[in-house]
């Protein structure tokens, strides 16, 4: 049978309230008594029922984390870092993995998270209705991707500036036909693809290059998508000499497509990614690095701070540093002929 607080109380010869106070470290218990109670609890293998204690106290000691795809490197890494902060602070993590539109819809209409969590960290940007639903939870909210949302603490990066540095690098090398592999078609409503696209267009405009819609393809933020997108670009009458992929995973897909087409990187085509995936260095991919784990940690930290100070609103937006990393997948156009 499961051991409850009264068992510990009886074993120690005190009341349940004293046991409760003692075990939670609340004041008003003599150290001697506390020690006895702790010992008895340990011996009996007692653990407080979270259901009962949250029903009584109103606090769940649980944080909800909403993720589009746990399996993807970026989200897995953010989650890993955030979970460590939460669990170190004594919170449990309730995970919601909303990859499919159905799962996502089910979640936001039924909102199974209501009354279950003390705060929510969303790794996907909710659309306006979803944001409203989350706000109706009436708990602190934070997010690590994309633009500001009222009521949310947001920890992010300068996506536009990052994209600019990547594309400017290509333009400076002399490329005039610069393709882009983005993830615009995803049903995620995050601002990341849009911001990165804006950076891309900014640099082209600066350089006096007329943007060509045919050079923008959709890679759905996956390796396979990136491969497909690159193939489309190569099928063009005038294929690009350089490609900016909005994520390293899509860039890796692009590299695969190029290899299949027997094109050399960077001699025939240059490729730049974004994120600095843990395997990008292995591959030698030029990219824009962002501090992924740090974003998860920071968002978690801010959420906990909000939890400690109940009448604090969301924290000010935090922008984490990014940096361009030159590796081996970029070179001047047709550098092959210059040898």
Residues that bind DNA (CB under 7 A): 2, 4-6, 13-18, 20-21, 23-24, 26-30, 32-33, 46, 48-49, 52-53, 55-57
Select the binding partner of residue 213 from DNA, a second copy, none (C-beta < 5 to 8 A, by kind): none
Q: Are 332 and 338 in contact (CB under 8 A)?
A: yes
Q: How far apart are CA 56 and CA 49, in angstroms?
A: 11
Alpha-carbon gap, residue 126 to 105, rounded angstroms: 11
Strands 287-289 and 119-122, sheet pairing: unpaired
Subset of residues 68 to 97 that bind a second copy, contact rule: CB under 8 A? 69-73, 76-77, 79-81, 83-84, 87-88, 92-97
Q: Judged by CB under 8 A, which of 35, 39, 103, 312 binds a second copy?
A: 103
Cβ atoms of 125 and 194 within 8 Å: the answer is no
**Distances 16 to 9, 82, 144 between C-alpha atoms, Å:** 5, 35, 42
Question: By CB under 8 A, is residue 313 in contact with a second copy?
Answer: no
- Binders of a second copy in range 205-234 (CB under 8 A): 223
| Binding of a second copy by 55 (CB under 8 A) | yes
| Residues in contact with 13: Cβ distance below 8 Å, sequence separation at least 6, in sequence order | none
Of 77, 63, 60, 80, which is closest to residue 121 (Cα–Cα)? 63
Name which of DNA, a second copy, none residue 93 binds, using a CB cut-off of 5 to 8 Å depending on partner kind. Answer: a second copy
Residue 30 lies near a second copy (rule: CB under 8 A): no
d(CA 245, CA 243): 6
Selection from DNA, a second copy, none that 16 binds (CB < 5 to 8 A by kind) is: DNA
Contact set with a second copy (CB under 8 A): 2, 45, 47-52, 54-55, 60, 62, 65, 69-73, 76-77, 79-81, 83-84, 87-88, 92-97, 99-100, 103, 106, 110-112, 114-116, 136, 223, 252-253, 255-256, 259, 278-279, 281-284, 293
């Amino acid at each position: 049978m499961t051991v409850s607080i009264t068992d510990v109380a009886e074993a120690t010869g005190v009341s349940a309230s004293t046991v409760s106070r003692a075990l939670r470290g609340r004041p008003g218990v003599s150290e001697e008594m506390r020690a006895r109670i702790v010992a008895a609890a340990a011996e009996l293998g007692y653990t407080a029922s979270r259901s009962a204690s949250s029903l009584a106290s109103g606090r769940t000691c649980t944080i909800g984390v909403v993720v589009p795809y746990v399996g993807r490197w970026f989200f897995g890494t953010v989650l890993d870092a955030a979970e460590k902060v939460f669990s170190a602070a004594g919170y449990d993590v309730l995970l919601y993995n909303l990859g499919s539109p159905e799962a996502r819809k089910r979640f936001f209409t039924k909102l199974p998270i209501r009354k279950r969590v003390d705060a929510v960290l969303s790794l996907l940007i909710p659309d306006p209705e979803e944001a409203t639903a989350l706000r109706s939870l009436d708990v602190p909210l934070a997010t690590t991707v994309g633009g500001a949302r009222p009521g949310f603490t947001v920890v992010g990066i300068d996506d536009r500036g990052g994209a600019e540095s990547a594309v400017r690098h290509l333009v400076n090398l002399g490329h005039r036909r610069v393709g882009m592999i983005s993830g615009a078609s995803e049903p995620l409503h995050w601002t990341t693809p849009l911001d990165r696209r804006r950076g891309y267009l900014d640099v082209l405009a600066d350089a006096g290059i007329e943007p060509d819609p045919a050079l923008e393809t959709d890679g759905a933020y996956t390796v396979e998508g990136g491969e497909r997108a690159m193939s489309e670009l190569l099928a063009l009458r005038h294929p690009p000499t350089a490609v900016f992929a909005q994520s390293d995973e899509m860039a890796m897909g692009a590299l695969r497509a190029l290899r299949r087409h027997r094109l050399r990187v960077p001699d025939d085509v240059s490729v730049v990614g974004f994120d600095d995936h843990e395997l990008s260095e292995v591959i030698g991919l030029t990219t824009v690095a962002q501090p992924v784990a740090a974003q998860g940690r920071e968002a978690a930290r801010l959420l906990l701070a909000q939890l400690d100070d109940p009448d604090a609103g969301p924290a000010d937006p935090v922008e984490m540093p990014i940096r361009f990393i030159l590796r081996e997948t970029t070179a001047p156009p047709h550098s092959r002929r210059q040898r």
